Structure 1
């Protein structure tokens, strides 16, 4: 397989650790200039300090000024080819049932995962529409389609993000829009969902990266995909849900 994403510019949110950092690292290794963003400025800068072609743009994606700065930076670099919505919010830990879910916390989960993602996409679309092979990637989860006790807040936000991605793919036929479920990963967020438990049996975040790169290389139709299916079998279309 010959990579097609060897140039251009990408924005990756939530890139200070975990999957966002792993994907930013892989994209940069292929020649993409990556604007990496995350809330913790010190952690982000330390994480990407030795990565060529990765530019740290710290900030909170729920902040309109930060979103504008990200897109303005991409514009100064010549445009935007890829937007990856990896930033998300788990919510309270331990995970509460919906009967006791704090409403302010639910608003925060949806603000980060859904509202901020759409707001950043709206700003980025003028640049994406002029790119040769533009794409938007949203991070999904099995919690978006399965009813797990305690996962109502996070799962509802991911389900909403999935639907936004599906509609955007129809409304913007010139832009590939993929919602991708990476599967369980050994991340700090996943650990917070299971406080006190050993999650060392979960795969490292980097194991899901090849599936995302395959999407970029093969450019299947917009839709929802599972990383496990992309690794095991050829991408033949969106996973039915």
Structure 2
């Protein structure tokens, strides 16, 4: 198997962390892992070293809303390995968990900076190199893009915008495969945050997520992460522009 070079944002926890290890261990990838938490990235590097994959992992500490972070990630990939084959745009935030009427506009704007505008910035910096490799951009979206949840207006609308961006890039960049993946309700720190802060604002929708957690029905991060890593390693062109749930039949071969 060839060794693709992949940038993964939000790589220090949850789905991004699982995707990083799967890319390294199963898909023979070279990974630039981007996250804000330096201590978690150091731990990531130590685990990669224990796997014998330390030389295939570069860590970049920084906030994706800072253009320098995205430039550094792309530059590290190129200066170390001379190419860039894929991006897994996974970094995202949930807050504000508040209604449109009561939510802070500034916090809404910050969410969009993380969940949407930072991805545009990363794409702009990466596209010249992804065109050369006929690479891929794999976006982590959400079912919230399609359905209104009380107090999730900021998050859901940012993911709807991400889906449209995916579709637009498929038209504008025919040499690059761009796919948005719905990972489902995953057992991550974001779900823990939701359970801790959402009760007073989400009303009936809140209990649905609590019930899934208590029944042990949350999806394990490595399940959708496997799909992300597999698509980053080799994404089929015919899926470009699509928003697809990780567990749809069309992605069956990318789940194993």
Task: Give me the TM-score of the superposition, normalised by structure 1.
Answer: 0.88
Structure 1 residue ranges without an equivalent (≥5):
236-241
Q: Which residue of 1 aligns with 2:245?
A: 226
Query: How many pairs were matched up?
Result: 228
1:87-133 CA distance string (max 9 Å, x none) = 011113xx2111111101100000001101000100001111111x4
Aligned residue runs from structure 1 range 61-80, under 5 A: 61-76=64-79, 77-80=81-84
Q: Give the SS at the match of 2:61.
A: coil
Q: Tell whether 2:122 aligns with 1:120.
A: yes
Specify which structure has the higher proportion of helix: 2
Deviates most, 180-189 or 192-201: 192-201
Q: Do the aligned residues in 1 keep the contact of 2:36 with 2:61 (CA within 8 Å)? A: yes
1:189-232 CA distance string (max 9 Å, x none) = 12111217572521210011333345344614201111010477
Q: Which residue of 2 aligns with 1:190?
A: 191
Q: Do the aligned residues in 2 keep the contact of 1:17 with 1:44 (CA within 8 Å)? A: no
Q: Do the aligned residues in 2 keep the contact of 1:211 with 1:230 (CA within 8 Å)? A: no
Aligned mates of 1:218, 1:148 — CA distance in 2: 31
Q: Tell whether 2:33 aligns with 1:44.
A: no
Q: 1:210 to 1:192 in 2, by over 3 A?
A: same
Aligned mates of 2:41, 2:102 — CA distance in 1: 34
Q: 1:146 to 1:81 in 2, by over 3 A?
A: same
Q: Tell whether 2:9 aligns with 1:13.
A: yes
Aligned mates of 1:72, 1:64 — CA distance in 2: 12
Aligned mates of 1:214, 1:72 — CA distance in 2: 23
Q: Which residue of 1 aligns with 2:173?
A: 172
Q: Which residue of 2 aligns with 1:205?
A: 221
Q: Do the aligned residues in 1 keep the contact of 2:33 with 2:57 (CA within 8 Å)? A: yes
**CA RMSD of the aligned region, Å?**
1.9
Q: Which runs of 4+ in 1 moved over 6 A?
A: none
Higher relative contact order (CA 8 A, sep 6+): 2
Structure 2 residue ranges without an equivalent (≥5):
198-209
Q: Do the aligned residues in 1 keep the contact of 2:20 with 2:229 (CA within 8 Å)? A: no
Q: Give the SS at the match of 1:104.
A: helix
Q: Do the aligned residues in 1 keep the contact of 2:16 with 2:225 (CA within 8 Å)? A: no
